[in-house]
Amino acid sequence: MSPDGFFEQLFAPVLDLVRAHREWAAPLVFGLCLIESLALISALVPATLLLLAIGSLAAAGLVSLLELSLWGMAGAGLGYWVSFEVGRRYGQRIEAMGFFARRPDWIERGHRLFERWGSVAVIVSRFIPLGRAIIPLMAGAMGGRRASFQVANWLSAVLWAPVMLAPASIGVALADHLQGASPQARAVVMIAVVVAVVLAVRSFRR
């Protein structure tokens, strides 16, 4: 089954709605990327698979991947920005809040990572589910500089949004190119895909 076919079956109702109202696709991506980048909420409402599914419509040529990516960048950047400002507003009181009080290991890990890596942690956290839920919040709570945070925030948003939306397009392109490839070449590509999936799953579990 092709990548776009897989997502067709998994999210058929949403994809049918977007097909019927293509003008909603980009704002929907904005909202999903915003949710995925908000502290705490991103841990409770994972939207990654839905983003991948909407990206599959771009692979089918129904919507513009560039337009979706631009809206996704805006939503992702805004989500981290809001999380950072919430962290600055409440500071260390965040640790006593109900959800985080029951998960002190999250706070400790986020504190340690930001203290050690600073803006680099902000960039890397974008690609780790738990990181999106805690790092921007900790950056604000620990008094991180706004300018440094915003540079890392928007840089990571520019990198992350296309990564969330493009896999189906990449998969379709690979399938087209591999039609006439040798069995050895196909095997190499399949191994690379399996390794990428394993690494992604491992990062998710962490």
* Domain ranges (residues) in the chain: 3-205
Predicted pLDDT of residue 19: 76
From the list 47, 72, 52, the residue with the least C-alpha distance to 6 is 52
pLDDT in tens, 121-141: 899 888 887 788 888 888 888
Handedness of CA 203, 165, 163, 38 (dihedral sign): negative
Q: If you ran DSSP here, which 8-state letter would residue 94 be given? A: G
Predicted pLDDT of residue 3: 47
- Where helices occur in the chain by DSSP H, the ranges are 3-10, 12-20, 25-36, 41-44, 48-59, 65-90, 98-101, 104-117, 119-125, 129-141, 146-165, 167-178, 183-205
pLDDT in tens, 51-68: 877 887 777 778 888 899
Q: Which residue has the tokens 């087209």?
A: 176
Query: How many Cα neighbours within 13 Å face the side chain of 26?
Result: 13
Beta-carbon neighbour count of residue 101 at 10 Å?
Answer: 11
The pLDDT tens digits along the chain (206 residues) read 444 445 455 566 767 777 777 788 889 899 999 999 998 787 777 677 788 778 877 777 788 888 999 999 999 999 999 999 998 888 777 766 666 666 667 677 777 777 788 888 899 888 887 788 888 888 888 888 899 999 999 999 999 998 888 876 666 555 555 566 666 665 665 566 556 555 554 544 44
Q: Is 33 exposed, middle or buried (0-12, 13-18, 19+ CB in 10 A)?
A: buried
Predicted pLDDT of residue 153: 95
Cα 61 to the chain's mean position, in Å? 22
Beta-carbon neighbour count of residue 78 at 10 Å?
Answer: 18
Predicted pLDDT of residue 71: 95
Distance CA 92, CA 37 (A): 21
Predicted pLDDT of residue 171: 60
Handedness of CA 173, 37, 77, 92 (dihedral sign): negative
